């Protein structure tokens, strides 16, 4: 492989990393605070993408197109969490039982979208702007703004988590929910806030995914979920900075692999990284043993 192709794919990788990072930050926040591995996250990303698609189709303007995705994601996630997940959490409560519920939810969402969308793949047109050469890399205005959005989300999340009382409460909840509650943290309100923020990030991730890939169908979010989860687990549950760094690794690796082996291997690269993380066992709190099984939804 020539070095130009390598550099080019690293450039693409940075854009992909921005897309992955937004989803991974939402996922890691959700996982860190609620301890629920929500496998319907990918399908919520699809919902976000379709919400923007519909807004664009109805010519509601660029602002409405951009706002539709996080809005839909937050709404769907909040409703699901407060109705379905809360219902099952009251009955059984184990992390794995609830994972099965999120799985069925994802299945229902995916095939409902499939049925509504007549099994079609939709084109998504988004103004990508002019191309810019920065050093050896080639970016478009759009891909640079994706990187900007990811950086903005990271900065906002870090500011909330480390500079405000809400952030302190969220971090306390993720470490020890019972103790946090005993200390007077308004648990219900904080959990609801987590669902809304992470849901909005899921929807936004769906939108940025389609602005990058330009097509969307009912399984788009699930296909992309592997990169998101790989980054979230590699970065460590509950750590936004870790998620972004891991997203850079996952994004660049997936694009380099895609340049070598064909585009369909890019997600396989994500799976490979995930497998590697599991084999090499870094201290990211995902190993069995003294881990808490309760979820707080």
Partner 1 sequence: MSYYLSTIAVYFGADLLAAWALNMQFGWAGVPNFAFIIFQAAGAYTYAAVTLGPDSGVNSFQHYILGANLPFPLPLLVAALAGGVVSLVVGLITLRRLRRDYQAAVFLLAAVIAIDVVSADVNLFNGSNGLAAVPQPVASLQNSLGLGAYQWVYAAFVALICVGALVLVRSLGRSGWQRALRAARDDEPGARALGLNPSILRLQVFVIGGMIAGLSGGLLVGFISAWSPGAWAYSETFAVLTGIILGGVSNDWGVLIGTFLIQIAFQEVTALFLPQIGYPGLTDALVWVVIGVLWLTVLFVRPRGILPEKRFRVLAVPRTRIWRGGR
Q: Where does this chain touch partner 1 (CB under 8 A) — which range of 54-62, 86-94, 168-176, 190-198?
A: 86-94
- 111 sits near partner 1 (criterion: CB under 8 A): yes
User: What's the CA gap between 116 and 47, in Å, rounded?
Assistant: 12
User: What's the CA gap between 21 and 201, in Å, rounded?
Assistant: 10
Q: What is the DSSP letter of 137?
A: E
- 289 sits near partner 1 (criterion: CB under 8 A): yes
Among positions 88, 139, 195, 209, the unique one binding partner 1 when judged by CB under 8 A? 88
Q: Where does this chain touch partner 1 (CB under 8 A) — which range of 60-68, 95-103, 136-144, 199-207?
A: 95-103
- 112 sits near partner 1 (criterion: CB under 8 A): yes
DSSP, collapsed to helix, strand or coil, labels residue 133 as strand
Strands 137-140 and 215-216: unpaired
Tell me the two tokens of residue 7: 């550099």
- Interface with partner 1 (CB under 8 A), residue total 50
Q: Where does this chain touch partner 1 (CB under 8 A) — which range of 13-21, 96-104, 134-142, 174-182?
A: 96-104
- 59 sits near partner 1 (criterion: CB under 8 A): no
Question: Which of 122/139 has CB closer to partner 1?
Answer: 122
- Residue 101 C-beta: closest distance to partner 1, Å: 7
Phi-psi category of 204—alpha, beta or left, where left has phi over 0 and alpha has psi -120 to 50?
alpha
Tell me the two tokens of residue 71: 């809005």
- Residue 281 C-beta: closest distance to partner 1, Å: 8
Question: Which of 92/131 has CB closer to partner 1?
Answer: 92
With tokens 């020890």, the residue in question is 176
The number of beta carbons lying within 10 Å of the beta carbon of residue 263 is 11
- 217 sits near partner 1 (criterion: CB under 8 A): no
C-alpha pair distances (Å), 9 with each of 197, 209, 258, 295: 31, 17, 8, 40
User: What's the CA gap between 129 and 111, in Å, rounded?
Assistant: 34
Question: Which of 135/290 has CB closer to partner 1?
Answer: 290
Question: Which of 213/219 has CB closer to partner 1?
Answer: 219
- Residue 152 C-beta: closest distance to partner 1, Å: 28
Among positions 69, 226, 234, 258, the unique one binding partner 1 when judged by CB under 8 A? 226
- The answer to whether 53 and 210 have CB atoms below 8 angstroms apart is yes
- 271 sits near partner 1 (criterion: CB under 8 A): yes
Where in 164-203 is the site for partner 1 (CB under 8 A)?
none
- Residue 285 C-beta: closest distance to partner 1, Å: 9
Question: Which of 126/265 has CB closer to partner 1?
Answer: 265
Residue 213 burial by Cβ neighbours in a 10 Å radius (0-12, 13-18, 19+): middle
Q: Phi first, then psi: give them for residue 139, nearest 5 degrees.
A: -125, 160
User: What's the CA gap between 38 and 131, in Å, rounded?
Assistant: 37
Positions that interact with partner 1 (CB under 8 A):
37, 39, 84, 87-88, 91-92, 95-97, 99-101, 103-105, 107-108, 110-112, 114-115, 118-119, 219, 222-223, 225-226, 229, 233, 262-265, 267-268, 270-271, 274-275, 278-279, 281, 286-289, 291
């Amino acid at each position: 492989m020539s070095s130009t192709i390598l550099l080019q794919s690293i450039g693409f990788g940075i854009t992909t990393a921005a897309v992955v990072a937004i989803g991974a930050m939402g996922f890691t926040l959700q996982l860190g605070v609620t301890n629920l591995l929500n496998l319907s996250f990918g399908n919520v990303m699809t919902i976000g993408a379709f919400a923007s698609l519909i807004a664009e189709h109805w010519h509601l303007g660029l602002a409405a197109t951009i706002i539709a995705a996080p809005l839909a994601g937050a709404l769907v996630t909040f409703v699901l969490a407060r109705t379905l997940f809360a219902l099952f959490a009251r009955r059984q409560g184990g992390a794995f039982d609830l994972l099965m519920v999120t799985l069925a939810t994802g299945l229902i969402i995916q095939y409902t979208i499939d049925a509504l969308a007549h099994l079609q793949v939709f084109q998504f047109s988004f103004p990508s702007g002019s191309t810019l050469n920065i050093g050896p890399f080639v970016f478009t205005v759009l891909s640079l703004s994706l990187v900007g959005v990811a950086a903005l989300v990271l900065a906002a999340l870090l500011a909330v988590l480390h500079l405000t009382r809400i952030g302190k409460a969220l971090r306390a909840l993720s470490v020890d929910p019972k103790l946090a509650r005993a200390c007077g943290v308004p648990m219900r309100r904080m959990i609801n806030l987590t669902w809304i923020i992470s849901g909005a990030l899921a929807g936004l991730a769906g939108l940025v995914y389609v602005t990058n890939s330009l097509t969307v169908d009912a399984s788009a979010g699930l296909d992309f979920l592997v990169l998101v989860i790989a980054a979230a687990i590699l970065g460590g549950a509950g750590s936004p900075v870790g998620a972004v760094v891991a997203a850079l690794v996952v994004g660049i690796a997936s694009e380099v692999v895609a340049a070598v082996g064909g585009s369909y291997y890019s997600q396989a690269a994500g799976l490979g990284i995930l497998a590697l993380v599991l084999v090499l066992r870094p201290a990211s709190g995902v190993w069995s043993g003294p881990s808490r099984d309760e979820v707080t939804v």
